[in-house]
A and B are shown apart, each in its own frame.
Chain A
Amino acid sequence: GAVVSQHPSWVICKSGTSVKIECRSLDFQATTMFWYRQFPKQSLMLMATSNEGSKATYEQGVEKDKFLINHASLTLSTLTVTSAHPEDSSFYICSARDREVGNQPQHFGDGTRLSIL
């Protein structure tokens, strides 16, 4: 089945550091990838939709200069949390679909747990 690899799994770093998270589709091409954030005991919150070769579409309230998304190829999207602060600590999850068809499920990466000290 479709596999999405997300790296790293855990990041612990100091406040002010920028952190890059990678999301790769391993056995399919993903024209669209999604970035979610999930705080403890809360539901998934879509941050942005990443489209290959074009600018990402950010959800309301998500700062595009804070969360930089690059989708340079059909198998890789990256999320960079710039100048991270403790309030950015969260579980970040990416997902991808291999076709722009409604019945294709989003396949999720294993998530990245980000802790900012």
Chain B
Amino acid sequence: GQNIDQPTEMTATEGAIVQINCTYQTSGFNGLFWYQQHAGEAPTFLSYNVLDGLEEKGRFSSFLSRSKGYSYLLLKELQMKDSASYLCAAVDSNYQLIWGAGTKLIIKP
């Protein structure tokens, strides 16, 4: 079956760095997305990886290892506004998104 695993909740300190991991098992693979979702709002697109390696975009970076079925989202210089849920979603062979349950990130001053 298809499955996405990511931690349920993480806590970090303002100004610090946090890494949110995601492992996936899908029927075929056509890339992996990370979305940010603030409470009560719709998800917003953060990143897409289809090749191995690190993609950097400002304070946020996303990494993919296809051989390990593994990705992470790295958030640097954490700000209070980064408190949100972070959703990992893999694209299967039919180009359907397989969603993780999301990681709730709590930022403390």
Stretch in B15-23, B37-45, B52-60, B66-74 with 4+ CB within 8 Å of A: B37-45
Q: Which residue numbers of B lie inside 8 Å of A, CB to CB?
A: 30-31, 33, 40-45, 48, 50, 87, 91, 95-97, 99-102
Give every chain A residue within 8 A of B96 (Cβ-Cβ).
49
A102 contacts the other chain (Cβ, under 8 Å)?
A: yes
A41 nearest in chain B by CB position: B104
A16 contacts the other chain (Cβ, under 8 Å)?
A: no
Contact A103 B43 (CB under 8 A): no
- Complex CA gap A107/B96 in Å reads 14
Contact A109 B45 (CB under 8 A): no
User: How many Å from the CB of B34 to the closest CB on chain A?
Assistant: 10
Q: Mark A83-117, 1 if CB is under 8 A from B, else 0.
A: 00000000101000000111101111111010000
A-B contact pairs, 8 of them (CB 8 A): A42-B101, A43-B87, A103-B30, A106-B33, A106-B45, A108-B42, A109-B42, A111-B42
Contact B91 A43 (CB under 8 A): no
9 more A-B residue pairs beyond the given contacts A43-B102, A102-B91, with a C-beta to C-beta distance below 8 A? A6-B42, A43-B87, A102-B30, A103-B30, A106-B45, A106-B97, A108-B42, A108-B44, A111-B41
Give every chain B residue within 8 A of A46 (Cβ-Cβ).
97, 99
- Complex CA gap A43/B88 in Å reads 11
Contact A105 to B99, CB < 8 A, known contacts A43-B87, A44-B87: no
A106 nearest in chain B by CB position: B97
Contact B31 A103 (CB under 8 A): yes
Contact A110 to B100, CB < 8 A, known contacts A103-B48, A105-B48: no
Q: Mark A1-37, 1 if CB is under 8 A from B, else 0.
A: 0000010000000000000000000000000001000
- Complex CA gap A46/B43 in Å reads 14
Give every chain A residue within 8 A of B102 (Cβ-Cβ).
43-44
